[in-house]
Amino acid sequence: MKHLIWLLIIFPFICNAQIITWDEKKEFSSIGDQVELLEDQSGQLTFKDVSSKAIEEQFKPSDSKILSLGYTDSYFWLRLTIHNQTKENAILELAQAGIPSADYYYQEDSIRIHHTA
């Protein structure tokens, strides 16, 4: 489990999971069942790889509100779309025990992609 790294992508144009709508009435929302998952057993996939049409079809919808991926050395890519209906920036928090690190990739518009480790 020490090698497990989670990576997150926000890709509205290719994501097939349910769109997560964020409004001013919400303070918190569990979104585990609104994301798509891809297990990368080799840990070799790149952002460019997982955003390609060839890999896109390998993402599977999660059916659990609380993600439980077990104990593994695999890497996992999560894909979701957030529609923020407020004028404030939303905070996305990965609050899951046992995850040593996570990289976040998000797309601000059709051109700019950001990466945070």
10-residue mean pLDDT series, the chain (117 residues):
41 53 70 85 90 89 79 85 78 74 79 79
Q: What pLDDT is recorded for position 41?
A: 92
Residues 6+ apart with CB under 8 A from 35: 17, 61, 62, 67, 78, 79, 80
User: What torsion, rounded to 10 degrees, do the Cα atoms 50, 40, 8, 2 define?
Assistant: -150
